Structure 1
């Protein structure tokens, strides 16, 4: 369900906020993204056909030069030049393919698992789709929007990440948390417009929430983690998305301890290494685990579907939209 178009919509929402206007709709962005993808496929296919045609003609010419004595007979048997299919034919082929893919995606979406609550249906995403799927108005998605900056060398640095475990209508949720993560993440200064060209956006749709039997009952690279615990009479909580521990190169224990510190735990009087040494000396290393030093430690694992887009990718799509007759009007949105 997560796709690049939704990241483009986050960029559009951020740009619109800088320009003090409303962004275009998510539905418009997804439709134009799909058209752009088909246009790129058509262009790629045309280039491939032209290259094959050129290679074939070159091969014929080389054969003619080698067989001058039989030029007349070879001329009669020479293969005809490969004809490039008309654009209308290529478009009709892709339209048929797109319709089939949409039908398949819709069927898959209908059969996807849902977490039921008394007030809303929280949809559990089942796959990252290359084609936007039809969504019913009552579908809700827990989601997180992440902004990173990319250096010229390609190094990625976190610039804001905020989301919610409460199911959101997708368009409203994306717009809200694209701006919240850009402007209200207290770990960073609000993102200025001047930083826009160095940004990349990632969207994670969450699902498959399961309580863990213990702090290690989850898999690196598969599960995100949400913890809560009581320490010195106060409850703390925090979460890491599924890709965080892998990107940081952490073990599961390191990830849980880091998550506890993110929540506000003060370390219980020392680092893990010092506590392990003290525990080994005392013959009881089990008591040194960070989660054993707090009360009512709870862990929930979940899975997420992620899509990402850079500023350059968004701009390539945006410039294509602006080249359309009504592109500027579409992207201006409604005041």
Structure 2
């Protein structure tokens, strides 16, 4: 996933209804991918060109089994939806280095998922968020820069951020990672499991201590999600007068 530090605040007026993210957002992403693979003409966007941080996810649907991740990349910088959805539909399809680029023959098995990110807040500690409600964007300095204090392995809601202000932390030694709100419940993680996994995802391979967890700054956020299948997209494109 592409990571850009979250903005201080985005989208003041948030609609809590599902209309924030709709099937049209998924169809627009699907259209970008289909047209890129077939050299077809995309349909004009009919959705509002609001700005949101966003992620585009491609899954492969399998009969009798849960969908399998095929690509997921996004950006924490608010994007105009007309440009951002089309751009990240292709980036997540072709440039997620965990997977080979999506090919035309796979289209009929795909499911498009859109996450529009909202409600960014600075957490008071690494435990100040709710599993299943919040996504987490974590950042932390290299553990070698942490102040020397007696180590504790007991989880604590207290943050050591204040003590970090006196330490010399080089920006080149910082780590960042994110998990969307659905990841922790899908994996069966509690908060500590999710934080520890995010620390690993950020690139830290050493010991994870309670002092390290307390050094983690968490920016929590929520998302409005929608998904659509290939068959739904085909019906939508035909209803709008385009061949497929």
TM-score (norm 2): 0.75
Between the two structures, name the one with larger relative contact order (CA 8 Å, sep ≥ 6).
Answer: 2
- Say yes or no: does 1:311 pair with 2:227: no
**Is the 8 Å Cα contact of residues 195 and 213 (structure 2) preserved in structure 1?**
no
User: What are the within-5 Å matches in structure 2 for residues 97-176 of structure 1?
Assistant: 135=48, 139-176=50-87
Match of 1:72 in 2: none
Deviation string 1:76-130 (CA, Å, 9 cap, x unpaired) is xxxxxxxxxxxxxxxxxxxxxxxxxxxxxxxxxxxxxxxxxxxxxxxxxxxxxxx
Q: Flag structure 1 segments of 5+ consecutive residues without an equivalent.
A: 31-134, 273-287, 322-326
CA distance in 2, matches of 1:19, 1:311: 15
CA distance in 1, matches of 2:98, 2:226: 23
SS at match of 1:155: strand
Q: Quick check: which has more Rg, 1 or 2?
A: 1
- Structure 1 counterpart of 2:103, from 170, 173, 192: 192
TM-score (norm 1): 0.55
User: What are the within-5 Å matches in structure 2 for residues 254-333 of structure 1?
Assistant: 254-266=193-205, 268-269=206-207, 288-289=209-210, 292-293=211-212, 296-321=215-240, 327-328=241-242
**Is the 8 Å Cα contact of residues 145 and 161 (structure 1) preserved in structure 2?**
yes
- Say yes or no: does 1:9 pair with 2:28: yes
Two-structure CA RMSD over aligned residues (Å):
2.0
**Is the 8 Å Cα contact of residues 143 and 204 (structure 1) preserved in structure 2?**
yes
User: What are the within-5 Å matches in structure 2 for residues 197-216 of structure 1?
Assistant: 197-216=108-127
**Is the 8 Å Cα contact of residues 230 and 295 (structure 1) preserved in structure 2?**
no
- Deviates further, 249-258 or 232-241: 232-241
Shift of 1:240: 0.7
CA distance in 1, matches of 2:65, 2:45: 29
SS at match of 1:210: strand
Shift of 1:248: 1.3
CA distance in 2, matches of 1:293, 1:262: 15
User: What are the within-5 Å matches in structure 2 for residues 33-48 of structure 1?
Assistant: none
User: What are the within-5 Å matches in structure 2 for residues 63-78 of structure 1?
Assistant: none
- Say yes or no: does 1:228 pair with 2:170: no
In terms of fraction of residues, the more helix-rich structure is 1
Q: Flag structure 2 segments of 5+ consecutive residues without an equivalent.
A: 1-19, 145-169
SS at match of 1:197: helix
